[in-house]
């Protein structure tokens, strides 16, 4: 069965782009906010989360903190635009396994997702 990837980003273009890159190999679910992401995580089996840091209302770091309360074993790869170095450091200190800079070349994204899933 295909692994399930949850992509969380407040930018619809980023969601669609990431889905196009991954949908050949994975079942891709999309969430346009942290709140939606948490709802999906509570109700579905997810194998990996791609999580945008810069989002309104509940940013990626806050979403990750909530996620750890009930879904702490699911690997997370943070997605960050350049200039968010402080956010990345905070994410790594919280136990994030990985991060990617946006926009990420398709090959790199596929590779990093596959690597992360192989560790499990
Ligand atoms: Mg964003």
How many whole angstroms from 66 Cα to the centroid of ligand 1?
18
How many whole angstroms from 40 Cα to the centroid of ligand 1?
19
Gap between the Cα atoms of 43 and 23, Å rounded: 21
Superfamily (CATH) of domain 4-118 = Response regulator (3.40.50.2300)
**CA atoms in the 13 A half-sphere facing the CB of 105:** 3
How many whole angstroms from 9 Cα to the centroid of ligand 1?
6
- pTM tops 0.85: yes
Gap between the Cα atoms of 56 and 2, Å rounded: 31
How many whole angstroms from 79 Cα to the centroid of ligand 1?
9
pLDDT computed for residue 100 by the predictor: 87
pLDDT computed for residue 86 by the predictor: 75
Query: 98 pLDDT band (50/70/90 cuts)?
Result: confident
pLDDT computed for residue 87 by the predictor: 74
How many whole angstroms from 92 Cα to the centroid of ligand 1?
18
Asked whether 55 and 13 are in contact (CB, 8 A), the reply is no
Q: What is the pLDDT of residues 26-68, one digit of tens each?
A: 999 999 999 999 999 999 999 999 999 999 999 999 999 999 9
- Give percent above pLDDT 90 in the chain: 72
């Amino acid at each position: 069965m295909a692994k399930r990837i949850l992509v969380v980003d407040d930018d619809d273009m980023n969601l669609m782009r990431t889905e196009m890159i991954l949908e050949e190999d994975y079942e891709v679910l999309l969430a346009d906010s942290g709140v939606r992401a948490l709802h999906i995580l509570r109700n579905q089996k997810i194998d990996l989360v791609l999580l945008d840091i810069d989002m309104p209302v509940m940013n990626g770091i806050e979403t990750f903190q909530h996620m750890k309360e009930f879904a702490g074993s699911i690997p997370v790869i943070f997605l960050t635009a350049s200039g968010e170095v402080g956010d990345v450091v905070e994410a790594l200190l919280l136990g994030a396994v990985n991060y990617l800079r946006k926009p990420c070349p398709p090959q790199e994204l596929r590779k990093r997702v596959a690597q992360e899933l192989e560790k499990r």
